[in-house]
Amino acid sequence: MAELAEPARSAGETDYQRVERSPEFQDLRRRFRSFVFPLTALFLVWYFVYVLLANYAHDFMSIRLGGSAITVGLLFGLGQFVSTFVITMLYARWANQRFDAQADALRREIEGDDL
Amino acid sequence: MSAIATALPAGPAAPGTVVQAAAGTDVGNPAVNLSIFAAFVAVTLFVVLRASRQNKSAADFYAGGRSFTGPQNGTAIAGDYLSAASFLGICGAIAINGYDGFLYSIGFLVAWLVALLLVAELLRNTGKFTMADVLSFRLRERPVRMAAALATLLVVFFYLLAQMAGAGGLVALLLGVDSAAGISAVITVVGVLMILYVLVGGMKGTTWVQIIKAVLLIAGAAVMTIWVLSKFGFNLSALLQGAVDAAGEGGQSLLEPGRQYGATGLSKLSFLSLALALVLGTAGLPHVLMRFYTVPTAKEARRSVVWAIWLIGIFYLFTLVLGYGAGALVGPETINAAPGGVNSAAPLLAFALGGEILLGIIAAVAFATILAVVAGLTITAAASFSHDIYANVIKKGRVNPDAEVRIARWTVVVIGLVAIGGGVLAQKQNVAFLVALAFAVAASANLPTIVYSLFWKRFNTAGALWSIYGGLISCIVLIVFSPVVSGSETAMIPGADFDWFPLTNPGLVSIPLGFLLGIVGTLVSSEPPHPEKFAEMEVRSLTGAGAERATASH
């Protein structure tokens, strides 16, 4: 872990703390959080917008589309399914293509160092 | 899940009406139902016996040797999650209450994103067998394990009771048994079979039962969905209109929100409370969390959740068609008059479509569903008791894994007996509030501590204890004083009147409280911080370094 050892080792610091302070790990964590946290906020807000509309905007959600029996509320509900599937695919793709390689590289360095 | 609260047999009906209704809707052939169910039991027992040959270590018994693939585990998660309440309850709720029933399935599905994004992989990387493993990673082990194990056992108990009592309700319709003794006998058979599966098969056997059941359930629902749609020229609008027409006066409201929950401001708040518990509960359900340990790596844990989301989402789309289909083809009056009440919507629809053979298949699938969910709950409770309470709290970790597994097996027997007893006693109870309560406890006691211990450096033991016990106690207290328990005719204790908390679900209060207490408890505690422990947890959770390895192969 030569390149990870750059930050000078202070007294009493464990190997994991040394890894935690390394720029590689800091970058990994920043990328994880900046992808996952906003996405979580997004789907929670969208879910509660939907629940609140169903609860308090009855007439709007009951509007029928062009003489059919399909209502605005039904479309919003199906929209929750679509958004869930889309977020799942986006996350899986991001994690598989971007995150895993970086995390694996760091893991190999740590385990190679026999922590 | 209290769509189903009003849906499931809420209280003892007058004896005469039950018999009459049973005679009036004498659908299907118990012999056909029984033989299809027996075939399922035979096949799964065979698989469980085969799977059990390599059950040696604790990792084998609790986590199936960590050797399942993502798709296998994802299917098992769907099998674990799509309980009888999901299948029968949501179909029935949509058939009777229309749009409001649909809202449940959405909460149950969106909740999986919390598990996917924030919990599954990090948990797999830092834990061993139970939720408490993650919490005790950097907090003081014994008190935190004890608290987490108690919360786990409580959630599992409520969930288990609901499943067992639901089994009783099903029997009335599907096997033509409607005496209390007959229903008790069937509950006992379900309990004994479940003990056998878990004892013999451990997590590996349980997982295979869940996989087989998930495939049968989703395939059965898919066939029925296509069948229903074909009757309406594959036109969703025509199907919805059919349900509205069959409902007669006021049928319009089937397509609009609020048919069940829109009555008053308080009922709307109850709904909001339930929606919160549903979306935050899933990622704190112990039997769901434990499934993440059955795969070899965090990447496979991710794949399992992705598979589970697709399977669960598609299944809930099927239930939308099946619910409105039951409304249109069977009609709400016939459904309400049937012995199983609202829960009989899906079986009655199967009978209307494909006669007694399809009914037999769907009935058998419904039983298989209960069996598989109950087995998953039992192994979770057994792991929590023997691994957390016995091995780590009582024996302080000085116990060999064989002894731990032996205790786990005994726990399985005890929990099986408790489930049978509870199921017999809870037969005529309003069972769905137990499931809603399980979700509320999971969201208020488990989720805050999991999230804080994974992401908040400062979080400490006091914070965890305040949050777990605070969430737990507030949930139970608010439920005891809610209209579910007293103060109305459909309550558990209809005569009494101590319902000062007006909502039917405690989530709106107890979940924010659980999160808040975690912060307050942390800040008032004088416990010194352990930056070295948090560093290890953070590095391991994100990189997978030092994670538990697979111990077996298939």
Q: Given 3.30.420, 2.60.40, 1.10.10, 1.20.1740, which CATH number is that of B23-423?
A: 1.20.1740
**Which residues of chain A lie closer than 8 angstroms to B507, CB-CB?**
none
Q: Is residue A8 part of a domain?
A: no
Q: Where are the domains of chain B?
A: 23-423
Contact A80 B106 (CB under 8 A): yes
Show which of residues 509-528 on chain B sit within 8 Å of chain A, judged by CB atoms: none
Please, how many CA atoms are within 13 Å of residue A75, restricted to the half-sphere of its CB?
11
List the one residue out of B212, B218, B210, B182 whose CA is nearest residue B194.
B210
User: How many structural domains is chain A composed of?
Assistant: 1
Which of B99, B118, B542 lies closest to A29 in CB terms? B542
Tokens of B237: 């609008």
pLDDT in tens, B74-86: 999 999 999 877 7
Task: Render pLDDT for B467-476 as a digit per residue (tens, 0 to 9).
Answer: 999 999 999 8
Q: Which two tokens stand for residue B267?
A: 């009922």
Indicate the pLDDT class of residue B3, thresholds 50, 70 and 90.
very low
Band (pLDDT 50/70/90 cuts) for residue A47 is very high
DSSP A48-109: HHHHHHHHH-HHHHT-BSTTSS-BHHHHHHHHHHHHHHHHHHHHHHHIIIIIHHHHHHHHHH
Q: How far apart are CA B403 and CA B220, in angstroms?
A: 42
Higher pLDDT, B127 or B330: B330
Looking at beta carbons, which residues of chain B come within 8 Å of A32?
542
Rounded Cα distance, B539 and B352, in Å: 57
Whether the predicted pLDDT of B21 surpasses 50: no
Q: Does B544 touch chain A (CB under 8 A)?
A: yes
Q: Which domain holds residue A76?
A: 18-112
B137–chain A Cβ distance below 8 A for any pair:
no
Of B109, B257, B531, Cβ closest to residue A54: B257
- pLDDT over threshold 60, residue B87: yes
Closest in B109, B261, B543 to A103, CB measured = B543
Coil vs helix vs strand at B547: coil
The complex's ipTM works out to: 0.89
What is the rounded distance in angstroms from the CA atom of residue B497 to the CA atom of residue B483? Answer: 9
| Residues of B (256-315) whose Cβ lies below 8 Å from A | 256-258, 261-262, 268, 271-272, 275, 279, 299, 302-303, 305-306, 309-310, 313
Nearest alpha carbon to residue B504 among B521, B486, B517: B486
Q: Using the predicted structure, report yes or no on whether residue B22 has a pLDDT greater than 60.
A: no
* Dihedral of alpha carbons A22, A25, A26, A27, sign: positive
Alpha helices, DSSP H only, in B232-257?
A: 236-247
CB-nearest partner of A81 from B117, B275, B317: B317
Tracing tokens 């020229």 back to the chain, one arrives at B233
Flag whether pLDDT at B12 surpasses 70: no
pLDDT band at B28 (very low <50, low <70, confident <90, very high): low
Q: Which of B236, B240, B543 has its CB closest to that of A110?
A: B543
Q: Quick check: is A5 in a domain?
A: no
Q: How would you classify residue B549: left for phi > 0, otherwise alpha for psi between -120 and 50, otherwise beta?
A: beta
Place of tokens 């190679």: A112
Average model confidence (pLDDT) for chain B? 84
Lowest mean pLDDT among B148-152, B215-219, B280-284, B336-340: B336-340
Please, which residues 50-109 of chain A have a Cβ atom closer than 8 Å to chain B?
A: 50-52, 54-56, 58, 61-62, 64, 68-71, 73-74, 77, 80-81, 84-85, 87-89, 91-92, 95-96, 100, 103-104, 106-107
Considering the domain boundaries, does residue A24 fall inside one?
yes
Of B524, B469, B380, the residue nearest B148 (C-alpha): B469
In A, which residues are within 8 Å of B278 by CB distance?
A: none
Q: Does residue A4 sit within a domain? A: no
**Residue B230's pLDDT is what?**
95
| Nearest-CB residue to B271 (from A43, A55, A88) | A55
Q: Are B101 and B332 in contact (CB under 8 A)?
A: no
The DSSP bridge partners found for residue B493 are B486
Tokens describing residue A97: 């293509």
Q: Is A107 a member of any domain?
A: yes
pLDDT at B504: 83
Do residues B515 and B467 touch, judged by C-beta distance below 8 A?
yes
Q: Say whether pLDDT at B71 is over 90.
A: yes
B31-40, B217-226, B310-319, B386-395: lowest mean pLDDT where?
Answer: B31-40
CA pair distance B502, B422, nearest whole angstrom: 27
The rounded distance, in Å, linking the Cα atoms of B359 and B396 is 52
CA distance A21 to chain B (A): 9
Contacts of A68 (CB under 8 A, 6+ apart): B237
Sign for the CA dihedral angle at B533, B451, A43, A85 comes to positive
Nearest to B61 by CA among B270, B268, B290: B290
Q: Which residue of B has its CA nearest to A64?
A: B255
* Structure confidence at residue B172 (pLDDT): 67
Which residues on B lie below 8 Å from A64 (Cβ)? 255
CA distance A3 to chain B (A): 17
CB atoms A107 and B543 under 8 Å: yes
Residues of B in contact with A17 (CB under 8 A): 531-532, 535
**Residue with token string 């409607």:** B178
Is A40's CB within 8 Å of B241's CB?
no
Which chain A residues touch B309 with a CB distance below 8 Å? 84-85, 88
Q: Do A55 and B261 touch (CB under 8 A)?
A: yes
- Provide the shortest C-alpha distance from residue B548 to chain A (in Å): 13
The verdict on residue A69 lying in a domain is yes
B292 contacts B539 by C-beta, under 8 angstroms: no
How far apart are the C-alpha atoms of B263 and B128, rounded to whole Å? 47
Let me know: does B146 contact B393? Beta carbons within 8 Å: yes
